[in-house]
């Protein structure tokens, strides 16, 4: 500011803290613009600019120049603006004079029109200019116009009187008026005609100018004329550009701050190269290549290529379609679209041959953002294009590709190709869709980070990873592809995290030929075939993913592949959960597999996985299905609440099941059939609607150390030629027999504990055989061992005791070999034989049995009193022809003597039965019982077990 050392001194531009706002017009409702206090330390406006009048290469470029020069322009600008503002304001508005009259009116009709701004009139009219022309001192002027120094604020009063010239007095008057009298709104209007460099210079005049020149709307209008964005764009770090609102950015004037950060850029804006802007120093070009050449030349001449702030060269591409340019980027330049609305849709780079944009060695911190890249080869052209791409990233470069739309109509190759050692781009927020080939292809040891991209509706795979490429891919949306979602093959690697992969025509994720990706926290769902497909020696780690609602299996593993499937949720598949076939392997652990239409895990055709610590439940079919020579180690899983068998093992399969909890199924717990084998060790098998274990049709498993309990249809059922070794198991609390052996089956039972059954301990009938050795059979509701209907087992060194019925019962033309058994403390007796039964009995100890039947007969009791629906005493039974009893009825000897005395009766045989007379099922009331009890079960034998219906629905 110009300062007079004479009597009059210009008021200071600084304000005390008590006057922190600029004075404004008296117009009601006018907005105040806040000023910093005297103590504030607001930085002066600094706008980076290019060297003025710098020459540029090429015919298609110009650089507009600024007329302001040096720091000395501050006071000159102030004086010039004062005069200009006064003249402009006086000539363009009907401003009232200082006495309230109208001045400058051009017509009668406009004399009544008032300016929208009322100027401050705290002083009489100023005549500094008139006084100055006659050499009159300022003090004389003040006196002659009744304008005393006392009318000014104390800090603005002149300290001494001095003689001033007319020119300086006029300048003082104009500057004073401009700085202290002119309304803020008028200054805003005037400043609105300035461009950015002049506006920065004006802001250095005084604090009031600085506050007004920093107005957000001023800078927004300037900014949008240059950059066209709807929001300010910030460049906080190399290769990082972000649109942010004022609230998010934290800047008082985000438009100005963005201007400051981006001003180093050159612009590709056809039609602007010949325009000149006073107060602006921006280079414009017609072509992208021209702008790149200029940026490279400027970088070479300055030695950095990045201006002065550590950021690379910056090229803005304004709205339009740029065709035919083959852009090879080999330096740290940023290409960014500039347009209102959706920027990328408005700025298009397109080629028909070679690659549209190629980054090569040297582009370490290059950037391409907010662009549409198109590769549209002419299908009739003879120029081969199978090795050309829409976007290509080569060796030893690491560009950032951000918020781009990438399209390719080439039926070969890929839309984006990243290849070679040291290729390490960042590709984020891009849309790679609707391409007639692969979306993204990463190969030949390339790396890179690919985040938040939309990859969809491509004709081939959404992503290919091949030949030791090792990308990082996070939060991508890969969907509705006409092929696989992600395909890793030929030793491809990669880390895939939190991607959403769905509705692809083939698998969501395919791994092949030695590929070994890591896939975590992804959602792979609604595939038209499967979720994950690992084949031909594929590897991979799939951890903490959600895999669901796929048309085929959630996970396929085949042909010697060996992936790790850990802590995934695999559910609601339209077929199975995990399907391992064709010599597949794999580690399947800690997964939650449920609600699938077929088996939760299916293992077949010589496959040999490790399956452990999984929850496999609520399947619409079975839990685990091992068939066609399937193998596998299945341990410590929880398999429950499945509609069919918890585990099926069939057709030559030999899995090992250890320490699993298999329970609460709606059919069988573990089902061996059609030559199913394997080992069942240390499992807890309980609460199934059918039996805990079923073995049939040539199956020969080893069942050792298990707890089998709570079955509604028995513990273990061996039938239809079933075999097996049952050893050291605890079989208890089953609703029917602990072990059933029937229909020519021949298992071996050794050292088992079979107890607390709600029916018999072991029931052998319909030609059943078997070897029973060293078992403890106790506390069962019916016979410890019941042998019936042409069966012939061998019982050796067993202990059969504490039964609620007989120890061993043999009936219905069955026989047995009993050697060295101990049978004691059973209620009805130790060994009870029906008529015609002649077992082979050697060295057995039968002692201390309660003989309740003989005692009841001796006491004249009806034998029904000591029987129940589940424990039938063996004794002589009769029919009464007088009472018309049927073949289904039996009457004990005491009822014959008492209740049917004098009737025509018939001895039938000595066998197990309960008395129908005591049960109240006959016409005459029993005289030996109290109130009759209605009989609901008149069968002589225990109810037959329910066989599995699995085969009916398989």
Residue 46 pLDDT:
53
Q: Domain 700-850 has what CATH class?
A: mainly beta
pLDDT greater than 80 at residue 203: yes
Q: What is the mean pLDDT of residues 822-848?
A: 95
Residue recorded with tokens 């077949």? 604
For the chain, percent of residues with pLDDT exceeding 90:
64
Axis crossing angle, helix 254-262 with helix 216-226, rounded to the nearest 10: 40
Dihedral over Cα of 899, 905, 909, 914: its sign:
negative
For the chain, percent of residues with pLDDT exceeding 70:
77
Residue 394 pLDDT:
96
Q: What angle do CA 29, 34, 36 make, to 5 degrees?
A: 160
Q: What is the mean pLDDT of residues 410-422?
A: 93
Dihedral over Cα of 70, 75, 81, 83: its sign:
negative
Residue 52 pLDDT:
38
Residue 302 pLDDT:
55
Higher pLDDT, 632 or 299: 632
Residue 825 CA, chain-centre distance (Å), reads: 64
What does residue 408 show for φ and ψ, rounded to 5 degrees? -140, 130
Q: What confidence tier does 295 reach under pLDDT thresholds 50, 70, 90?
A: confident
> How many Cβ atoms from other residues are within 10 Å of residue 473's Cβ?
27
Q: What is the mean pLDDT of residues 185-196?
A: 91
Higher pLDDT, 947 or 787: 787
- Pure H helices in 162-287: 166-176, 184-191, 196-202, 207-213, 216-226, 246-249, 254-262
pLDDT greater than 80 at residue 610: yes
Give the bridge partners for 486, in sequence order.
463, 509
Q: What is the mean pLDDT of residues 568-585?
A: 97
pLDDT greater than 90 at residue 107: no
pLDDT greater than 80 at residue 197: yes
Residue 73 pLDDT:
38
Residue 868 pLDDT:
67
Span 218-240, pLDDT tens digits: 999 999 999 999 999 999 999 99
Dmax (CA) for the chain in angstroms is: 165
Q: What confidence tier does 676 reach under pLDDT thresholds 50, 70, 90?
A: very high
Q: What is the mean pLDDT of residues 585-601?
A: 97
pLDDT greater than 70 at residue 168: no
Could you tell me which of 619, 460, 646, 470 has the C-alpha nearest to residue 553? 619
Residue 134 pLDDT:
38
d(CA 520, CA 546): 9
d(CA 245, CA 486): 36
Higher pLDDT, 131 or 334: 334
What's the chain's average pLDDT?
82
CB 467 within 8 A of CB 490: yes
Residue 403 pLDDT:
97
Give the bridge partners for 810, in sequence order.
787, 833
Q: What confidence tier does 40 reach under pLDDT thresholds 50, 70, 90?
A: very low
Q: What is the mean pLDDT of residues 860-879?
A: 82
CB 589 within 8 A of CB 563: no
Higher pLDDT, 752 or 913: 752
pLDDT greater than 80 at residue 927: yes
Span 136-166, pLDDT tens digits: 443 333 333 343 444 444 444 444 444 445 6
d(CA 341, CA 503): 31
Q: What angle do CA 454, 457, 461 make, to 5 degrees?
A: 90
Q: What confidence tier does 565 reach under pLDDT thresholds 50, 70, 90?
A: very high
Could you tell me which of 221, 242, 298 has the C-alpha nearest to residue 265? 298
Pairing of strands 656-658, 431-433: unpaired
Q: What confidence tier does 309 reach under pLDDT thresholds 50, 70, 90?
A: low
Q: What is the mean pLDDT of residues 42-61?
A: 42
Higher pLDDT, 80 or 841: 841
Q: What is the mean pLDDT of residues 494-520?
A: 97
d(CA 78, CA 593): 78
d(CA 939, CA 664): 29
Residue 310 pLDDT:
56
| 3-state secondary structure string across 819-865 | ECCEEECCCCEEEEECCCCCCEEECCEEECCCCHHHHHHHCCCCHHH
DSSP letter for 397, please.
B
Least confident of 219-223, 287-291, 297-301, 679-683: 297-301
DSSP letter for 712, please.
B
**Which sequence spans correspond to the domains of the chain?**
700-850, 871-911
CB 373 within 8 A of CB 345: no
- Pure H helices in 382-432: none
d(CA 75, CA 410): 63
Could you tell me which of 704, 677, 597, 701 has the C-alpha nearest to residue 685? 704
Least confident of 744-748, 898-902, 937-941: 937-941
């Amino acid at each position: 500011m110009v300062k007079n050392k004479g009597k009059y001194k210009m008021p200071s531009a600084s304000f005390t803290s008590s006057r922190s706002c600029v004075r404004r017009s008296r117009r009601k409702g006018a907005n105040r613009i806040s000023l910093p206090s005297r103590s504030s330390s607001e930085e002066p406006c600094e706008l980076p600019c290019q060297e003025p009048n710098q020459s540029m290469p090429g015919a298609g470029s110009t650089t507009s120049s600024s007329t302001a020069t040096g720091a000395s322009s501050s006071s000159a600008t102030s004086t010039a603006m004062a005069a200009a503002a006064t003249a402009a304001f006086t000539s363009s508005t009907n401003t009232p004079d200082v006495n309230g009259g109208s001045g400058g009116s051009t017509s009668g009709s406009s004399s009544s029109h008032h300016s929208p701004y009322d100027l401050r009139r705290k002083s009489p009219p100023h005549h500094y200019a008139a006084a100055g022309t006659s050499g009159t001192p300022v003090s004389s002027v003040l006196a002659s116009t009744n304008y005393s120094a006392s009318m000014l604020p104390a800090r603005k009063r002149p300290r001494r009187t001095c003689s001033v010239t007319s020119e300086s007095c006029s300048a003082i008057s104009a500057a004073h008026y401009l700085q202290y009298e002119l309304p803020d709104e008028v200054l805003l209007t005037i400043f609105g005609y300035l461009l950015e460099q002049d506006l920065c210079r004006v802001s250095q005049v005084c604090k009031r100018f600085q506050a007004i020149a920093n107005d957000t709307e001023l800078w927004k209008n300037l900014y949008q004329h240059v950059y066209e964005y709807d929001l300010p764009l910030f460049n906080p770090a190399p290769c990082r550009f972000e649109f942010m609102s004022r609230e998010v950015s934290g800047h008082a004037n985000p438009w100005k701050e963005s201007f400051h950060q981006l001003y180093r850029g050159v612009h590709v804006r056809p039609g602007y190269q010949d325009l000149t802007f006073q107060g602006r120093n921006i280079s414009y070009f017609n072509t992208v290549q021209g702008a790149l050449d200029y940026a490279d030349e400027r970088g070479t001449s300055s030695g950095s290529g990045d201006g002065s702030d550590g950021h690379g060269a910056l090229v803005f591409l304004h709205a339009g379609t740029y065709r035919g340019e083959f852009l090879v980027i080999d330096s740290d330049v940023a290409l960014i679209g500039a347009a209102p609305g959706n920027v990328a849709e408005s700025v298009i780079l397109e080629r028909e041959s070679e690659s549209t944009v190629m980054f090569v060695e040297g582009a370490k911190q290059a950037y391409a953002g907010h662009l549409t890249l198109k590769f549209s080869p002419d299908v009739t052209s003879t120029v081969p294009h199978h090795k050309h791409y829409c976007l290509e990233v080569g060796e030893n470069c690491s560009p950032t590709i951000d918020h781009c739309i990438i399209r390719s109509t080439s039926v070969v190759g890929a839309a984006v190709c990243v290849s070679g050692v040291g290729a390490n781009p960042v590709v984020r927020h891009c849309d790679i869709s609707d391409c007639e080939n692969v979306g993204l292809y990463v190969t030949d040891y390339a790396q890179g980070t690919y985040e938040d991209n939309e990859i969809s509706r491509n004709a081939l795979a959404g992503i290919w990873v091949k030949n030791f490429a090792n990308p990082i891919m996070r939060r991508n949306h890969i969907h509705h592809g006409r092929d696989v979602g992600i395909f890793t093959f030929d030793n491809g690697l990669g880390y895939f995290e939190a991607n959403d992969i769905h509705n692809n025509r083939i698998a969501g994720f395919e791994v092949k030929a030695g590929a070994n990706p890591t896939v975590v926290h992804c959602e792979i769902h609604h595939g038209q075939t499967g979720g994950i497909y690992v084949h031909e020696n594929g590897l991979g780690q799939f951890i903490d993913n959600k895999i669901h609602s796929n048309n085929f299996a959630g996970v396929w593993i085949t042909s010697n592949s060996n992936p790790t499937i850990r802590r995934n949720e695999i559910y609601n598949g339209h077929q199975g959960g995990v399907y391992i076939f064709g010599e597949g392997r794999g580690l399947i652990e800690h997964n939650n597999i449920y609600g699938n239409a077929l088996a939760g895990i299916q293992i077949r055709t010589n496959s040999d996985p490790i399956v452990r610590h999984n929850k496999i439940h609520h399947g619409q079919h079975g839990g685990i299905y091992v068939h066609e020579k399937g193998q596998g180690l299945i341990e410590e899983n929880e398999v429950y609440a499945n509609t069919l068998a918890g585990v099926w093992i069939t057709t030559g399969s030999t899995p090992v099941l250890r320490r699993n909890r298999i329970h609460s199924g709606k059919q069988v717990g573990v089902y061996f059939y059609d030559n199913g084998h394997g080992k069942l060790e240390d499992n807890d098998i309980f609460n199934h609607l059918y039996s805990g274990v079923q073995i049939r049709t040539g199956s020969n498993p080893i069942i050792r150390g298990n707890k089998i309990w709570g079955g509604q249809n028995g513990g273990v059922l061996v039938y239809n030629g079933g075999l097996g070794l049952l050893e050291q198991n605890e079989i208890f609390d089953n609703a029917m027999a602990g072990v059933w052996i029937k229909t020519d089956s021949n298992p071996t039972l050794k050292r088992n504990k079979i107890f607390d059954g709600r029916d018999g301990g072991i029931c052998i009938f319909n030609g059943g055989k078997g070897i029973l050795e060293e078992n403890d059979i106790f506390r069962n509701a019916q016979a410890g061992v019941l042998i019936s209907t042409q069966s012939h087992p061998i019982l050796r060194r067993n202990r059969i005791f504490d039964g609620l019925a007989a120890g061993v019962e043999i009936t219905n033309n069955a026989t047995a070999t009993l050697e060295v058994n101990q049978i004691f403390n059973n209620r009805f007796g130790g060994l009870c034989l029906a008529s015609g039964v002649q077992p082979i009995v050697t060295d057995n100890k039968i002692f201390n049995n309660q003989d309740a039947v003989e005692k009841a007969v001796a006491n004249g009791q009806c034998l029904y009193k000591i029987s129940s629906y589940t424990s039938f005493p063996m004794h002589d039974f009769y029919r009464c022809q007088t009472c018309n009893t049927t073949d289904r009825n039996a009457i004990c000897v005491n009822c014959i003597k008492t209740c049917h005395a004098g009737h025509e009766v018939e001895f039938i045989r000595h066998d197990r039965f309960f008395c129908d007379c005591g049960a109240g099922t006959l016409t005459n009331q029993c005289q030996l019982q109290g109130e009759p009890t209605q009989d609901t079960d008149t069968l002589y034998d225990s109810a037959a077990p329910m066989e599995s219906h699995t085969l009916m629905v398989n």
